[in-house]
Amino acid sequence: MKKQELIDSLKEIVGKENVLSSDMDLALYSYDASLAKGMPDVVVMPASTGEVSKIMSLVHREKIPILGRGSGTNLTGGSIPARGGIVVHFSRMNHILEIDIPNRTVTVEPGVITLDLQTEVLKKGFVYQPDPASQKVSTIGGNVSENSGGPHCLKYGVTSNHVQGLELVLNDGTVIRTGGKSWDNPGYDIKGLFVGCEGTLGLVTKAVLKLERAPEAVKTMLAIYETIEDGANTVSAIIAEGIVPATLEMMDNRVMRAVEETIKVGYPLDAAAVLIIELDGMPEGMAENAEKIMEICKENNVREVRLAKDEAERAILWAGRKGAFGAVGQVRPSYLCCDGTVPRTKLPEVLAKVIEIGERYDLPIGNVFHAGDGNLHPLIMFDERDPDEKERVLKAGTEILKACADAGGTISGEHGVGLEKLRETSFVFCENDLEFERRIKKAFDPDDIINPGKMIPEPVCVQ
Amino acid sequence: MAGFKEIVERLTDIVGREFIKTRPEEIRGYAVDEMIPEAVIFPGNTKEVSGVVKLASRENLAIVPRGSGTKMCLGNPPKRLDLVVCVSRMNHMIDVDTSNLTITVEAGVKFRDIQARLATQEDRCYLPLDDLTTVADEVICSDRSHSGCFLPMDPSHANEATIGGIIAANSSGPRRLLYRLPRDSILGVRMVAPTGEILGSGGKTVKNVSGYDVSKLAVGSMGSLGILCEMTFKLLPLPEKMETLLISFGSFSDTSDFVEGLFETTLLPASVDVMNRRAYSHLRMDGIPDFGQGGYVSAIALEGFEPAVERIRNEISHMAKANGARSVAGIHEEKHPLFWLAISDLEQDLAGKAPGHIRARINYPISEWRGVIESAEIAFSGADLDYTIQTHAGSGICLANLLVDKEDSEGMDRAVITLNSLLGHCLRVGGNLVVERAPAGVKERLKVWGEAGSDFVVMKRVKDQIDPAGVMSPGRFIGGL
């Protein structure tokens, strides 16, 4: 099918104002929050499941690559077209369809912004727990596809634990529902497979998400340390004491400095690291637990523990954490975020390794991460225009992921494999594992046109 | 295809002579829905499972995996059956990492042994601690943690079930209200594919977006996609305080008003079960109150920090009395885990008493809980059936046991008609009805897995890709997969 024919057919489906094909428009969809780039042939903005189904039938017939996109915040190249074709932008499918309090669910379209949904349900006293740092811009469709994490995952689990049902458009345009308002549905857990599939199995057109009652009480603390190790050891000690906080987030000196240069939150610039500890739930027992935590901090050589006195103080502590990536972006033009994850007890040794790698490659690395669940986010800061520096960055990134894998962890906690970590999959998977994944992919997408080239590397040819 | 005798020889080479059974009197007990396999084999590790499955796949032998056998009543009768692969010898805890709050175990490890392994030094444990079967040569990564932890799952037959069976059958119980489902606890899996390859997915981290989440696909797959060999789970610290409230009500409307009121609050009990008197009276446990005749009993588990448990207990007791409760009793200390063990064993106890016993598991959107119980009770009593009913309010499950005599063909007919019509009602409210146990002959007249949804098309595609020859548990799963 000629490109113009394709554009015309898409215009028939969604209306001509909802198809973008100028060079300028396409360029805007050629990148995401990663270093990868890829140009689409056309961008289409459907308004309904029916339209998505028609688009999918068309690409099925014509064998044209297709991929869904929300706000394009992906950090591994997941939301850029690796082989051209159609980008389906879900910006118009951005409605909260139903907040069903008796069933503790909310049903949304994929283009809904995560924070908008959270703000809406909080008005009724409920929360949707997953809270990726990008929640102000990221969409539910993207969160589902990447199985997004966030600080709350320590206690409440990842996106997959909060997705009860999905409406999906399959490769041939068939619309199916998997899961729903009932927790249990006989048969394979198709929604479980879909969450975190990085958009490679089909397109999500609706999601039924789990709501929980907003916790009655929250307590937020900032613990300040002279060394990163002390902070990391505190994390393990808190869990060993039988307390699972809502969050345990860590930030090192370099990141604090970047934050203070952009958003002033009052982090101590002479400290090596801070830990944000938050408890939530019923108020009964919370004060005792906060006391215990302070004790543990002291045992691990904390300099000072600050307790947020009110919601305003709490918001300030969090503003720094949530704005950290952006702040780092102000220090150097580019950064590479390695999303390696390790068993939390391995944090001190892997952090030491990360620092060593940074020194060896002569690269500034900032650490801001979900310490409670062992999810590191070393940010390697650099200038993309300097080819030598970029080369070193990629090598250092690979070494960091290898260190995580060797410590019994994995190469991605929440950002996905996408295009950037295809090679690194060999650190955690053997050929059998990958072959099984290829079969799953084939079951959903035999023509290999749905977000092709991502997540699973091509088989190694043995000549 | 080789003769079966020759195949047995080759299987013996893989696992050793003492770990394969072929004599009829030895294998009769391993029949699946009255279908007797040619052989039962007991591999000792994942590699041996791989060897067995590779051979079976080459010879096109149909396999049904098995643990302790507590879930063998599930599913359609198999289309064919040659080998039962029993994982009971694979009972090693590979990595007990309490500091990281994860555990990795082989499929044949019993659920209660996991809980015992995670108990405190003072033997505080999530399950009653007695006659452990844990093997001694386990590899231990970290010492028994001082504060203790537990695997937050609540399967049926908790004392007998193996972890592999629990995951394959997606077994959950009352306390899923607080701890959610097996899919929420599993972090990783190693399994043997229907073609014999060993493959893995996930690992020891809570967050993991590296490849498809095969663990989720494995949960509830009923042995139709391969044999689960090793699994990793996330753990929780053992609750500081655990106790149970038993509240008896004279009428269902009082009970339901109370439960509805409870869900309006911000309290977080671990379970809110409602059962009829018949179910309560069948519980195999001494020392629980006799609430007299008729009415309903609500059993509420409270697990958490002590001050929180106290507050929930006080507020719930108040609410119960305000809603006309006849009496409120507490179950404390070591009786708390015993009570919930009795709940988890109820189904199997009844199956032992009534050989024709049928068990239905109804799922529904949680707001429909009252309507589901009422419709089920009207249907069962209208059909003059002896039944127990129990519901996990707030988490969408209703369990019914029909105590039918196997020889009572008229009673069986009434049960079948009633269940088929009840399925229709469940589907109308967005739920389903799975028959978890029924005599083999009766299963053919029931939709054992309820009605498949629109996602069945992809389930079939997945099954065809993963097990193209159809050797794993053929026909037992939904839609004959």
Chain A CB contacts of B214 under 8 Å are 193, 436-437, 440
Q: How many residue contacts between A and B have a Cβ separation below 8 Å?
A: 266
Q: Is A178 on the interface with B (CB under 8 A)?
A: yes
Tokens of B270: 């671990």
Q: How far apart are CA A335 and CA A327, in angstroms?
A: 11
- Between B102, B207, B462, which is nearest A440 by CB? B462
Dump pLDDT digits (tens) for A112-171: 999 999 999 999 999 999 999 899 999 999 999 999 998 889 899 999 999 999 999 999
Residue B131 burial by Cβ neighbours in a 10 Å radius (0-12, 13-18, 19+) = exposed
- Could B197 and A103 be called an inter-chain contact, meaning their C-beta atoms sit closer than 8 Å? no
Give me the pLDDT at residue B145, please: 53
Chain B CB contacts of A343 under 8 Å are 97, 100, 102, 204-205
Q: How far apart are CA B401 and CA B467, in angstroms?
A: 34
Query: CATH classification of A96-213, choosing from 3.40.309.10, 1.10.3720.10, 3.40.50.10310, 3.30.465.10?
Result: 3.30.465.10
Q: How far apart are CA A381 and CA A332, in angstroms?
A: 6
Q: How far apart are CA B129 and CA A6, in angstroms?
A: 67
- Could A170 and B311 be called an inter-chain contact, meaning their C-beta atoms sit closer than 8 Å? no
Give me the pLDDT at residue B2, please: 66
Dump pLDDT digits (tens) for A325-334: 888 888 888 8
Give me the pLDDT at residue B133, please: 46
Q: Is A224 on the interface with B (CB under 8 A)?
A: no
- B5 CA to chain A: closest CA distance, Å? 31
Give me the pLDDT at residue B424, please: 96
Give me the pLDDT at residue B146, please: 56
CATH number of B354-443: 3.30.70.2740
Residue A267: phi, psi to the nearest 5? -70, 145
User: Residue A326: CB partners within 8 Å, gap ≥ 6?
Assistant: A262
3-class state of residue B311 by DSSP:
helix
- Every domain range in chain B assigned CATH 3.30.70.3450: 241-341
Dump pLDDT digits (tens) for B411-445: 999 999 999 999 999 999 999 999 999 998 999 99
Chain B CB contacts of A374 under 8 Å are 100, 205-207
- A215-329: CATH topology is Alpha-Beta Plaits (3.30.70)
Q: Is A234 on the interface with B (CB under 8 A)?
A: no
Give me the pLDDT at residue B122, please: 79
Place of tokens 């032998």: B61
Q: Is A48 on the interface with B (CB under 8 A)?
A: no
**Do residues B155 and B172 make contact, with C-beta atoms less than 8 angstroms apart?**
yes
Least confident interval from A398-402, B127-131, B321-325, B350-354: B127-131
Give me the pLDDT at residue A463, please: 44
DSSP structure string for B3-50 = -HHHHHHHHHHHH-GGGEE-SHHHHGGG-BTTBPPSEEE--SSHHHHH
Give me the pLDDT at residue B141, please: 37
Give me the pLDDT at residue B432, please: 97
Residues in chain A: 463
- B18 CA to chain A: closest CA distance, Å? 31
Dump pLDDT digits (tens) for B180-225: 999 999 999 999 999 999 999 999 999 999 999 999 999 999 999 9
**Do residues B429 and B298 make contact, with C-beta atoms less than 8 angstroms apart?**
no
Closest by alpha carbon to B386, among B371, B401, B369, B408?
A: B401
- B246 CA to chain A: closest CA distance, Å? 23
Query: CATH classification of B1-238+455-481, choosing from 3.40.50.11540, 3.40.50.150, 3.30.465.10, 3.30.70.60?
Result: 3.30.465.10
pLDDT of residue A50 exceeding 70: yes
Interface with chain B: mutation pick from A189, A194, A195, A293, highest number of B CBs within 10 Å: A189
Closest by alpha carbon to B47, among B109, B135, B106, B114?
A: B106
Is residue B343 within a helix (H) or strand (E), and if so which, with residue range? helix B335-353
The arithmetic mean of pLDDT across residues A307-317, rounded, is 90
- Every domain range in chain B assigned CATH 3.30.465.10: 1-238+455-481
Give me the pLDDT at residue B17, please: 96
Name the band, by pLDDT with cuts 50, 70 and 90, for residue B121. Answer: confident
pLDDT of residue B354 exceeding 90: no
Query: CATH classification of B241-341, choosing from 3.40.50.11540, 3.50.50.60, 3.30.70.3450, 3.20.20.70?
Result: 3.30.70.3450
Dump pLDDT digits (tens) for A287-304: 999 999 999 999 999 999
Tokens of B99: 């500091």
Chain A CB contacts of B225 under 8 Å are 188
Q: Is A146 on the interface with B (CB under 8 A)?
A: yes
DSSP structure string for A20-86 = E-SHHHHHHTSB-SSS-B---SEEE---SHHHHHHHHHHHHHHT--EEEESS---SSSTTS-TT-SE
What are the residues facing B362 on neighbouring strands?
B398, B433
Question: CB count, 10 Å around CB of A448?
Answer: 16
The arithmetic mean of pLDDT across residues B371-393, rounded, is 96
- Between A193, A289, A429, which is nearest B217 by CB? A193
Query: CATH classification of A3-91, choosing from 3.30.43.10, 3.40.50.11740, 3.10.100.10, 3.40.50.10490?
Result: 3.30.43.10
Is residue B227 within a helix (H) or strand (E), and if so which, with residue range? strand B227-234
For A43, B271, B343, B366, B450, the CA distances from B251, given in Å and listed in that order, are 61, 20, 22, 21, 30
Q: How far apart are CA B405 and CA B197, in angstroms?
A: 45
pLDDT of residue B34 exceeding 60: yes
3-class state of residue B245 by DSSP:
strand
Chain B CB contacts of A423 under 8 Å are none
The arithmetic mean of pLDDT across residues A406-428, rounded, is 94
Crossing angle of helices A387-406/A347-360, nearest 10°? 160
Dump pLDDT digits (tens) for B329-340: 999 988 999 999
Query: CATH classification of A332-421, choosing from 3.30.70.2740, 3.60.15.10, 3.40.1440.10, 3.40.30.10?
Result: 3.30.70.2740
Residue A116: phi, psi to the nearest 5? -60, -45
**Strands annotated E in A101-162:** 105-108, 126-127
3-class state of residue B235 by DSSP:
coil
> For chain B, what percent of residues have pLDDT higher than 90?
88
- Between A187, A416, A441, which is nearest B209 by CB? A416
* β-bridge pairing A96-100 and A105-108: antiparallel
State which residue of chain A sits closest to B366, comparing Cα positions.
Answer: A103
Average pLDDT, chain B: 93
pLDDT of residue B135 exceeding 80: no
State which residue of chain A sits closest to B180, comparing Cα positions.
Answer: A161
User: Residue A197: CB partners within 8 Å, gap ≥ 6?
Assistant: A145, A455, B212, B213
Give me the pLDDT at residue A462, please: 52
pLDDT of residue A324 exceeding 60: yes
Dump pLDDT digits (tens) for B69-115: 999 999 999 999 999 999 999 999 999 998 899 999 999 999 999 99
Is residue B54 within a helix (H) or strand (E), and if so which, with residue range? helix B46-58
Give me the pLDDT at residue B142, please: 42
Q: How far apart are CA B40 and CA B27, in angstroms?
A: 7
Helix ranges, A323-363 (H):
324-331, 347-360
Tokens of A133: 């740092």
State which residue of chain A sits closest to B450, comparing Cα positions.
Answer: A186
The arithmetic mean of pLDDT across residues A90-113, rounded, is 98
Q: How far apart are CA B343 and CA B357, in angstroms?
A: 17
Q: Is A109 on the interface with B (CB under 8 A)?
A: no
**Strands annotated E in A101-196:** 105-108, 126-127, 163-169, 175-179
